[in-house]
Amino acid sequence: MEPLSQAEIRSSFVNCSKGEAKGVTLPARVETIPWADIDFLGWRDPKATGRGYLVLRHEGAAVGLSLRATTPPRSRLRSSLCNFCMTAHAAADIALFSARRAGAAGKAGNTLGVYLCADLACCLYVRRKLVPEVPQPSETLSVEERVARMELNLHRFVADVLSAP
């Protein structure tokens, strides 16, 4: 993705208060982020377990989402596939992330949930730069096709968070 500055990342958040956005622990110095190898920036807050963030370019604008992560009880976990990158994981490596919707719906407590790689490193899994612990379902997609599928899932989710219900 096209690199973003620290200020652009901080001001991109659409589903949390300004105060919360200010308190976000950024993943790394922006110069050290491998922008060419990622389609979105996803990270867990090292200072607040249970928080995660997604930042991406969506319809031409930088959009950041603040997420709350919970580890679903094993018995209720139907699938251990990430809903974005479709990587298979052991149950402990998948988390349920919920995003408050943007705007009035979010203020009314409306959220959307999605099962994702617990470390939000989807971009590295689709490129096989990170290898999950469990065997992957056999499929013949190329890296480009896996990236395209992930982007489709990601943008659909972001569009849902941004849209009024």
Nearest to 82 by CA among 49, 23, 130, 27: 130
| Nearest distance from C-beta of residue 57 to Zn ion, angstroms | 18
Beta carbons of 103 and 113 less than 8 angstroms apart: no
| Selected binder of Zn ion within 82, 96, 124, 161 (CB under 5 A) | 82
Sole window of 15-23, 40-48, 100-108, 121-129 interacting with Zn ion (rule: CB under 5 A): 121-129
DSSP state, 45?
-
Total of chain residues touching Zn ion, rule CB under 5 A = 6
Nearer to Zn ion, 55 or 105 (CB): 55
| Selected binder of Zn ion within 102, 117, 147, 154 (CB under 5 A) | 117
Nearest to 90 by CA among 117, 54, 124: 117
Nearest to 123 by CA among 60, 35, 57, 50: 35
| Nearest distance from C-beta of residue 4 to Zn ion, angstroms | 20
Which residues in this chain contact Zn ion in the complex, by CB under 5 A?
82, 84-85, 87, 117, 122
